[in-house]
Amino acid sequence: MRNHPIAAIATPPGSGGVGIIRVSGRNLVGLAELLLAKPPKLRFAHHLYLNDSHGNRLDEVLLIYFKGPASFTGEDVLELHCHGGAFLTQMILNRVIELGRDWGIVQAEAGEFSLRAYLNGKIDLAQAEAIPDLINAQSDAAIKGAARSLQGRFSQRINQLITEITQLRILVESTLDFPEEEIEFLESSKANELLAELLIKLQELVEETRQGKILRDGIQLALVGSPNVGKSSLLNYFVGEERAIVTPVAGTTRDRIQERISLQGMPIHLIDTAGLRTSTDLVERLGIAKTWDAIQDADTIIFMRDLSQAQSFEEGLLAAQVTKRASKKAHIINVFNKLDLLATENHSAHPLHDESAIYISVKTGAGMDRLRKKILEGAGWNSNEAAGIFTARERHLSAIALAKECLLRAQAHGTNGNLALDLFAEELRYAQDALGQITGKLLPDELLGKIFSEFCIGK
């Protein structure tokens, strides 16, 4: 970490009612006195006029002084609140850096305020990651989940598991000097039972963390199929407005259209794609190429067909091609649309009947509840558990999965006649280390730098 005081604009780029410049560093009370021409009161909104180097007034400003360690970063912090013009806030930032040259103030890098808060023990890494999650949240559930992580709910779960693994490790290592007592130790201390309980708790955390990742990232859901099967109509149905143009002319959609929706609290990036067919039109062919890209990237694919049309041999080949090009983890939902065009909604006798498929009518809404349920099930989303979950990231899932692998190996070393307490203890240590990476207790500096570089400047 750089030792210089840092300064940055903390509010988003652009114009607004208020702009905030944030400064953090050691012994900034002198800078506050320079700006105010008097000693500052703690946590008090001081009024001042800030001038440029020629004595010309820049703005009327409020200054608040937070003395470390009782601040966000754990250092002295100054906040200057000015009018929110983009050019004005930049001028004030430049002036503050100029006035603070005796303190060595420099422009902050992305995420550097949060990094200092982490390094000074004000927050752990999981809490730091929750800050941009809270800022970028786009649903009520995502806001609440990020707030829980920022409050330390996720970290508490991790730390509790680390504590329990530590206690078990102490039990195991305390008998390593007495190898003749290893079997008796395992039986009397119930080490294997304790390990089994840990694995159950870890699996529960895996499920919650998976839900938390979905809550943070959402899922990519691609609507694909031949032209004019109702993909754009389905997108408009979910969005609740005519976002995509719908006409009887095949090939109307020539580019990807993406909308964000929420289904029982689960964020969905909904993508309407160009219809898949052989085309000589250059623009349409470019759109079809983007459709295949969307298929490869999608977590869930709705492959739509027109129930009112006989399925051709080419469409069967297309379905197989979609399955082949999709990610192995993708959930593919076969959907037959235009149920309203049948003489009866009883489709069981229809030539295209498929027990695994969903039959809908975007026009009447028939079958839509079943489709929603299928989407949620495929993503692994449990809306009943969403009320208490926290936001999480892929690296958290990877760390928990690694910890689980270590505990399973430890279990193998303590059972089935494969008794090796030293290896048992070593796997417990590896599990501890894996979980410690989530809160940042054991994380390489270069990875820390990468994580915080993705934050906003001023955060």
Average of per-residue pLDDT across 226-242: 85
Q: Which CATH number covers residue 174? A: 1.20.120.430
Q: Are residues 309 and 405 in the same domain?
A: no
Average pLDDT value over all residues in the chain? 86
What totals of helices (H) and strands (E) does the chain contain, helices first?
Answer: 15, 12
Domain housing 318: 218-379
Q: Which CATH number covers residue 284? A: 3.40.50.300
Instruction: Give the model confidence (pLDDT) of 390-417 as tens digits.
Output: 999 999 999 999 999 999 999 888 775 5
Q: Is residue 167 part of a domain?
A: yes
Closest CA to 268 of 333, 314, 208: 333
Q: Is residue 448 part of a domain?
A: no
Q: Are residues 356 and 238 in the same domain?
A: yes
Q: Is residue 289 part of a domain?
A: yes
- Reported pTM: 0.81
Q: How much of the chain is helix, strand and coil, in % rounded to 5?
A: 50, 15, 35
Q: Are residues 346 and 232 in the same domain?
A: yes
Express as a percent the part of the chain with pLDDT over 90: 53
The total number of residues written for the chain in this structure:
459
Number of domains in the chain: 3
pLDDT at 249 over 50: no
The DSSP 8-state label assigned to residue 311 in this structure reads: P
Q: Are residues 300 and 172 in the same domain?
A: no
Give the span between the Cα atoms of 391 and 459, in whole angstroms. 18
Integer Rg of the chain from CA: 29
Instruction: Give the model confidence (pLDDT) of 20-44 as tens digits.
Output: 999 999 999 999 999 999 999 999 9
Give the span between the Cα atoms of 289 and 317, in whole angstroms. 17
pLDDT at 292 over 90: no
Q: Are residues 210 and 106 in the same domain?
A: no
Domain boundary among 83, 105, 124: 124
Q: Are residues 161 and 223 in the same domain?
A: no
